[in-house]
Homo-oligomer: A and B are copies of this chain.
Amino acid sequence: MDKDLEKLKEEFIINFGWAYKAFGLSKLMGHIVALLIYSPRPLSLDEITQALKRSKGPVSQITRRLRDKNLIRRVWQPTSRKDYYEIEPEVFENAFRNNLELVRNNLRIAKTFKQRVADVGGDDVNALDTRLSEMQKFYELMDKKYKEFLDEWEVERENLEKNRINI
């Protein structure tokens, strides 16, 4: 029984590792996030290290990066002077926001080059200009939709919150 849950946890962690990798982040980041999602209480660095069978070095580094990205947070317990980590309540939302930054970067690239190509001018430039315009439009719409999504999610999240309290 506990054995099953343990097995599930392991799979969950592995899955998250691959997912994180697919999104351009490190597998270990995914593992830690998954572990903390799974855990009902904050975990110390040593506990994470043990659970994932890693050494302290990389875990320390990655927890820092995860905090920088607002995916986990550090908390303290009154009884111990260890650092504990828990999942950021808005992990998914924050991960999404990080992604939005990449989208905006693409938008910047399109804009910048469109301008610079226009400045330089030349013969074969028309087709390129069209493509860059399209790229710009694409990422502008994407940006807009991403923001809409975040707004809607805020509403939905509040509803979830309410229902949870009412039960």
Residues of A within 8 A of B (CB): 1-2, 4-5, 8, 11-12, 15-16, 19, 21-25, 37-38, 40, 87, 92-93, 96, 102, 105-106, 109, 113, 116-117, 120-122, 124-125, 127-128, 130-131, 133-135, 137-139, 141-142, 145, 148-149, 152-153, 156-157, 160, 164
Contacts and interface: CB of A to CB of B under 8 A. Distances in A.
B19 A21 contact: no
A149 B147 CA distance: 12
The 10 A-B residue pairs with the shortest CB-CB distance, nearest first, are A24-B24, A40-B124, A145-B149, A92-B138, A4-B120, A40-B127, A22-B24, A15-B109, A5-B120, A23-B24
User: For the complex, would chain A's binding face be called helix, strand, loop or mixed by DSSP majority?
Assistant: helix
Nearest to A123: B40
Most chain B Cβ neighbours within 10 Å, of A1, A5, A122, A142 = A5
Given A120-B5, A128-B38, A152-B141, A102 B22 contact: yes
Contact of A138 (B1, B133, B153): B153
22 contacts: A1-B122, A2-B122, A5-B117, A5-B120, A5-B122, A11-B113, A12-B109, A12-B113, A15-B109, A22-B105, A23-B24, A23-B102, A24-B24, A38-B128, A40-B124, A40-B127, A40-B128, A92-B134, A141-B156, A142-B149, A145-B145, A145-B152
A2 to B, nearest CB: 7
Contacts of A127: 40
